[in-house]
Amino acid sequence: DEKIDLEKIVEVKMQIEELNKALATLTKEERDLMEAIFYKEESLRSISRREKVTHQAISGRRDRILEKLRKILEDKI
């Protein structure tokens, strides 16, 4: 049904807009890390070598940033 498809498209676009707003609240360092992990698909080990920190440190940063984004997005829903 075209109406359902259109509603789904609008819903997804709104979710993308909210995600972009949430990403805009991150610091440059946080955005850079998310970009490396999710857009460039760089491994945590590769990032940790480049940043000269442990794999666990990068993993912890990622988890904290994702939690921050989750809280922001939950408040919007």
d(CA 56, CA 51): 12
Q: What is the pLDDT along the chain (77 residues), one digit of tens a residue?
A: 677 788 899 999 999 999 999 999 999 999 999 999 999 999 999 999 999 999 999 999 999 999 999 999 998 75
Single pTM value for the model: 0.81
Half-sphere exposure at residue 53, Cβ-oriented, CA atoms within 13 angstroms: 9
**What is the length of the chain?**
77
Tell me, what CATH number does 24's domain have? 1.10.10.10
Structural domain total, the chain: 1
* Range of the structural domain that residue 26 is part of: 2-76
